[in-house]
Amino acid sequence: MQPIIYFAILVPFLAIALASLMQDMQPYIISEAELMHWLETTDANLTFIGDPIPGINAPAGLTPRKAQATRVVFCSVRNGNSCGGACSVYTGDNVCLLAPDTNCLSATGEVTFCAPNGCSCPCNLYSHCGTRMDNGFCWTPGTNAIFVGALFSGL
């Protein structure tokens, strides 16, 4: 009878531990609202590439050209658990961005970050970030290129 009691006590603790582990394994994609908030409040030096962002680098009333475009921010400096310094902001689809000296990035859709030879292997998926940082950023030391789009989504 004793083993059943121990098992009954142990099961809830195992369930909590497993739920915590599974949460850490969830795909890592930041929401559009979270990224917009970061853009509005950051002190990073931003350079914009691609489609304009209404309310950030274009008039607030401007209608975006593509409703489903991916937005990616990639920066040169990791300071503790924060990302900043010189950052580039790309909005658009299916492109290989040369991104030398990138140490961290964040995105509203799947992107692949690669080193050392452009958008060819070895690459990693942002959604499976190994070292998560504040504000939806992922630590990506050694990144030299970022592929935006679905081409490498099967990695």
DSSP helix/strand/coil, 103:
strand
More confident residue, 141 or 13: 141
The sheet with strand 82-92 has its strands ordered as 45-50, 82-92, 70-79, 95-107, 138-148, 111-114, 123-125
Give the 3-state DSSP-derived string for 26-61, with helices as H, strands as E and coil as C: CCCCCCHHHHHHHHHHCCCEEEEEECCCECCCECCC
Global pTM reads 0.77
Encode pLDDT of 99-111 as tens digits.
999 999 999 999 9
Residue count of the chain:
155
- As a whole number of angstroms, the distance between CA 75 and CA 67 comes to 24
- Angle, CA 21 vertex, CA 155 and CA 137 arms, to 5°: 55
Encode pLDDT of 65-90 as tens digits.
656 789 999 999 999 999 999 999 99
pLDDT at 29: 86
pLDDT at 149: 82
